[in-house]
Amino acid sequence: MSFFSCEFKTDKKNTADLITDSKIETKKNMTDQKEIFKNKVIVFLSKEPDLKSNILDIQDFIENGKSSIPVFTSTEKLTESTQGAELPFPKYQIDGLFLLSIMSGNEMLRVNPTLSDEAFFKASDLKEYYKVEIEKLMEKMKTEQ
């Protein structure tokens, strides 16, 4: 599944290598799980990104005939969800709002798959919910180029 970031280069400001001992600051008891996307999240890529390109190939998974993109809130959650198995996909930590900005809207995001705090979100719902914040991020990225 390829995503285009519309005129924005995906460089190390946007996609940082995931350091296995890094932790993502998330609220322990989120009253609104959508808040997850205000933080850094971890996703699988189908291949290493070309930092000179504006394309990220985000890996989706099919379960019961339905596609979803796994999103993790921390390296601990990723390890717990995969039961410690190393999957053959690059893992990247990226800004949650940036992730939403490059989605077309018809994707299903599966936060912390198989865990007690698992949640499903339609990308279109999140893009609408964070519309103002995403626009601010895009403006900031334009000025940094």
Domain boundaries in the chain? 2-16+35-144
Q: How far apart are CA 122 and CA 128, in angstroms?
A: 10
**Is 8 within 8 Å of 138 (Cβ atoms)?**
yes
Task: Note if the pTM is more than 0.85.
Answer: no
CA distances from residue 111 to 34, 77, 80, 140 in whole angstroms, order as listed: 10, 10, 13, 26
Categorize the per-residue pLDDT at 14 as very low, low, confident or very high, splitting at 50, 70 and 90. very low
pLDDT, tens digit, for every residue of 63-115? 999 999 999 999 999 999 999 888 888 999 999 999 999 999 999 999 999 99
In sequence order, what E strands does 1-145 have? 2-4, 15-17, 40-44, 55-57, 61-63, 66-72, 91-95, 108-111, 119-122
Categorize the per-residue pLDDT at 32 as very low, low, confident or very high, splitting at 50, 70 and 90. low
Categorize the per-residue pLDDT at 55 as very low, low, confident or very high, splitting at 50, 70 and 90. confident
